[in-house]
């Protein structure tokens, strides 16, 4: 009687090991597929968003270029006003040096 129960116990243990190994294999395959699905999903979404991202980057570049363009014109206007003030200042200094000031 003991011999039969020992065999049955060994068969049960082998069956448990087989079920565990099969479960681990199936679980590993399912887990690997899930990770692959997630990676492909994110990659696909990123690729679908690429045109919008490119448009947004282009808008930002154009906005930055327009801002730099406006700043360039502002710098030119400032330089022109400074040049005008410099010419006036030099004219006054030259008049003082030559003792010619119409309003004195």
DSSP class of residue 98 equals T
Confirm whether 6 is domain-assigned.
Answer: yes
Q: What is the pLDDT of residue 18?
A: 86
Say if 44 falls within a structural domain: yes
Q: How confident is the model at residue 17, as a pLDDT?
A: 86
The reply to whether 40 falls in a domain is yes
95: burial class by Cβ within 10 Å (0-12, 13-18, 19+)?
Answer: middle
Q: Number of folded domains in the chain? A: 2
- Any domain includes 91: yes
Asked whether residue 56 is domain-assigned, the answer is no
Q: Residue 38: in which H helix or E strand, if any?
A: helix 2-48
List the domain range (segments joined by +) for residue 103: 64-104
Provide the pLDDT for residue 103: 64
- The predicted pLDDT at position 104 comes to 60
User: Residue 1 has what pLDDT?
Assistant: 45
pTM: 0.48
| Mean pLDDT, the chain cut into blocks of 10 residues (104 residues total) | 53 80 91 93 88 92 95 95 95 84 64
Phi-psi region of 100 (alpha: psi -120 to 50; beta: other; left: phi over 0): beta
Q: Are residues 84 and 41 in the same domain?
A: no
């Amino acid at each position: 009687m003991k011999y039969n129960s020992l065999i049955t116990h060994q068969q049960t243990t082998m069956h448990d090991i087989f079920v565990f190994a099969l479960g681990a294999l199936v679980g590993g395959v399912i887990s690997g597929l899930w990770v692959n699905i997630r990676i492909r999903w994110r990659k696909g979404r990123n690729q679908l968003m690429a045109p919008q991202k490119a448009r947004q980057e282009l808008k930002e570049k154009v906005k930055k270029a327009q801002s730099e363009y406006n700043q360039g014109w502002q710098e030119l206007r400032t330089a022109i006003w400074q040049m005008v003030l410099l010419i006036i200042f030099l004219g006054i200094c030259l008049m003082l040096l030559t003792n010619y000031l119409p309003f004195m």
